[in-house]
């Protein structure tokens, strides 16, 4: 395929789409002009850039997409598809873009992929840049280190384009890991209709219009959606360097709990930081609107800094005809701080009608300025506020038609502050409550560390056949320095990788035994501790006694 961006790759790309195929793209620009519609139940297919950076391989498109809302890839069946280590170049105009829609039963991976350039409005683009679904209840598809951070047209809702969307046909698990989504025209990610779950692990979501996070609990028979370890930053007065003159956010929220009327309940938000420095009109830092039809939710071990007049937490009246139980909102070990002088509801936390069973426990609220109450509960029963510090300029608690038990409420302590990298940064008694939000490149860097090799070694040596392998060990597993490519992966004692060239090797050290090994495609030579073994004998090549070095 032409790496100079002159000749379209459409026909060659389409003809290569079949099971067991890995297409490697050397650094360059690859011109795509037609949508690839793939619905052939293909298994184990990959498109992988071979550059040292995901920006080394860029897919480019006709300027303005020839007047179409262009889709690059539409993959609507199959499993174990890998899209890795490349970028989608939208350019800096206001009409060129390309989205991807991928549905896999299981094993889908989108990793180290970035949308470069400015995203248009939905007049010229699809409603999101990435639609990602899982078509099997037992399946898990992952998006890891997906980046969208170079700005977008900001027309206000509903005309902006979202980042990632998990749709109603998704019934399994979609997982977002360490993604950075910034300055989108609409939600950074949205999973309100999904019958499966969305699980978000880490990541930075900053200055996105409409919502920075929009999620429901989902309707999976065994799982619920969650967000863990993520950071939300809203600083509308300080958009990043990709903003154009006149760009401004319209009504951005931090987190919206919303099932679009489906009635789901039970989503968990844990170990997250929310930092609101400046913001126009907004429903709230954390909100669950009545029309969203969502039941209860939990915030646990979260930190919120609100220096704006936006409502901090609002659990709006629950739609009891729609929402599943439980209906209550639970705040567990939540810290709320900031320089806000007022709140639309009058209180930092507003719990509205029929949010029965709501709890605030082991939490801290510190709003010393203006006239701000701590917790307001309206027309809800069986609620509790326990073991919490509420140090505010107004009343600690206000109840209207509510049944609330309180115990061990103090009003003198400071509260932990969030920091822009997601770690706890000091407390609210500090004279400087601002937080440095310049975390632009933290999510796509790797930690340089040296580890000692483990007692056993396994090497896979290429024979010239495109090969994908997977193996699991019973104890610890790590890659040997310099042998593993970006598309190889280690997770929880399992390694999955590709070898495509004769004589090239992937090497790992491990402790314990090789518990299982399989070639998913092709074959290679296998060596354990220097001795050549086969796919059928590799699990007998070590014993647990080797872990002590004898």
pLDDT per position as a tens digit, 403-436:
999 999 999 878 988 965 444 456 776 433 333 3
User: Which of 134, 161, 178 is the last residue in one of the domains?
Assistant: 134
60 in a domain, yes or no? yes
416 in a domain, yes or no? no
105 in a domain, yes or no? yes
CB neighbours of residue 196 within 10 Å: 29
Average pLDDT over residues 500-526: 89
Distance in angstroms (rounded) separating the CA atoms of residues 334 and 213 = 18
213 in a domain, yes or no? no
pLDDT per position as a tens digit, 286-340:
999 999 999 999 999 999 999 999 999 999 999 999 999 999 999 999 999 999 9
Q: Report pLDDT for 449.
A: 40
pLDDT per position as a tens digit, 161-196:
999 999 999 999 999 999 999 999 999 999 999 999
Find out whether 270 and 301 touch, Cβ atoms under 8 Å: yes
pLDDT band per the 50, 70, 90 thresholds, residue 464 = confident
Q: pLDDT at residue 445 above 70?
A: no
Domain count, the chain: 2
Distance in angstroms (rounded) separating the CA atoms of residues 278 and 434 = 12
pLDDT per position as a tens digit, 96-121:
999 999 999 999 999 999 999 999 99
Distance in angstroms (rounded) separating the CA atoms of residues 80 and 135 = 12
Q: For the chain, what percent of residues have pLDDT higher than 90?
A: 83
40 in a domain, yes or no? yes
Token pair recorded at residue 122: 């939905």
- What's the alpha-carbon Rg for the chain, to the nearest Å? 25
Q: Report pLDDT for 403.
A: 98
Beta-strand relationship, 253-257 and 286-288 = parallel
Beta-strand relationship, 231-235 and 359-361 = unpaired
Q: Report pLDDT for 426.
A: 65
Residues spanned by the domain of 535: 456-548
User: Which of 83, 105, 134 is the last residue in one of the domains?
Assistant: 134
537 in a domain, yes or no? yes
Distance in angstroms (rounded) separating the CA atoms of residues 109 and 142 = 5
126 in a domain, yes or no? yes
Query: What is the number of H-type helices and E-type strands within the chain?
Result: 1, 48
pLDDT band per the 50, 70, 90 thresholds, residue 522 = confident
Q: Cβ-count burial of 544 within 10 angstroms (0-12 exposed, 13-18 middle, 19+ buried)? A: exposed
428 in a domain, yes or no? no
pLDDT band per the 50, 70, 90 thresholds, residue 11 = very high
User: Which of 68, 99, 134 is the last residue in one of the domains?
Assistant: 134
In terms of C-beta distances under 8 Å and separation of at least 24 residues, what long-range contacts does 515-518 make, across chains too?
A: 515/471, 515/472, 515/473, 515/474, 515/539, 516/471, 516/472, 517/469, 517/470, 517/471, 517/472, 518/469, 518/470, 518/471
String of b and e for 60-99 (b: at least 16 CB within 10 Å)? bbeebbeeebbbbbbbbebbbbbbbbbbbbbeeebbbbbb
Tell me the pTM: 0.79
Token pair recorded at residue 133: 């679904």
């Amino acid at each position: 395929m032409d790496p100079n961006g002159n000749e379209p790759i459409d026909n060659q790309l389409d003809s290569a789409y079949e099971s067991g195929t890995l297409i490697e793209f050397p650094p360059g620009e690859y011109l795509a002009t037609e949508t690839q519609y793939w619905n052939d139940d293909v298994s184990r297919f990959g498109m992988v850039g071979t550059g040292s950076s995901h920006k080394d391989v860029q897919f480019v498109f006709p300027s303005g997409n020839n007047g179409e809302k262009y889709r690059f890839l539409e993959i609507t069946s199959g499993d174990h598809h890998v899209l890795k280590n490349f970028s989608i170049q939208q350019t800096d105009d206001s009409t060129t873009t390309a989205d991807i829609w991928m549905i896999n039963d299981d094993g889908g991976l989108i990793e180290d992929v970035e949308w470069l350039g400015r995203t248009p409005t939905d007049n010229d683009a699809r409603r999101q840049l990435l639609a990602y679904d899982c078509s099997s209840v037992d399946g898990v598809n992952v998006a890891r280190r997906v980046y969208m951070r170079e700005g977008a047209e900001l027309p206000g809702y509903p005309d902006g384009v979202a980042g990632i969307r998990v749709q109603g046909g998704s019934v399994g698990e979609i997982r977002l890991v360490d993604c950075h989504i910034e300055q989108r025209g609409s939600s950074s990610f949205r999973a309100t209709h999904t019958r499966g779950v969305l699980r978000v692990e880490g990541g930075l979501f900053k200055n996105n219009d409409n919502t920075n996070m929009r999620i429901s609990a989902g309707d999976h028979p065994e799982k619920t959606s969650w967000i863990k370890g993520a950071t939300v930053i809203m600083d509308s007065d300080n958009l990043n360097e990709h903003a154009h003159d006149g760009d401004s956010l319209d009504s951005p929220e931090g987190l919206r709990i919303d099932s679009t009327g489906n009635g789901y309940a039970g989503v968990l938000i844990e170990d997250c930081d929310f930092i609101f420095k400046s913001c126009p009109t907004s429903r709230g830092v954390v909100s669950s609107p009545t029309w969203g039809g969502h039941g209860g939710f939990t915030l646990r071990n979260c930190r919120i800094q609100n220096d704006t007049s936006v409502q901090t937490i609002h659990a709006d009246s629950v739609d009891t005809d729609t929402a599943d139980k439980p209906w209550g909102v639970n705040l567990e070990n939540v810290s709320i701080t900031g320089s806000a002088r007022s709140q639309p509801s009058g209180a930092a936390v507003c719990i509205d009608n029929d949010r029965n069973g709501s709890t605030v426990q082991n939490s801290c609220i510190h709003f010393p300025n203006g006239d701000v109450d701590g917790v307001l509960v309206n027309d809800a029963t069986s609620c509790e506020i326990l073991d919490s510090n509420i140090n505010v300029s107004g009343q600690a608690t206000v109840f209207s038609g509510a049944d609330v038990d309180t115990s061990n409420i103090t009003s003198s302590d400071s509260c932990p502050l969030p920091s822009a990298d997601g770690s706890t940064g000091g407390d609210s008694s500090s004279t400087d409550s601002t937080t440095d939000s310049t975390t632009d490149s933290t999510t796509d860097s790797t930690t340089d560390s040296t580890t000692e090799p483990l007692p056993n070694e396994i090497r896979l040596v290429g024979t010239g056949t495109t090969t994908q392998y997977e193996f699991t060990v019973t104890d610890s597993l790590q890659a040997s320095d310099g042998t593993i490519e970006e598309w190889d992966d280690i997770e929880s004692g399992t390694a999955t990788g590709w070898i495509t060239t004769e004589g090239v090797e992937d090497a790992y050290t491990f402790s314990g035994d090789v518990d299982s090994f399989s070639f998913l495609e092709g074959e290679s030579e296998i060596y354990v501790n220097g001795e050549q073994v086969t796919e059928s004998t590799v699990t007998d090549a070590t014993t647990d006694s080797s872990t002590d070095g004898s």
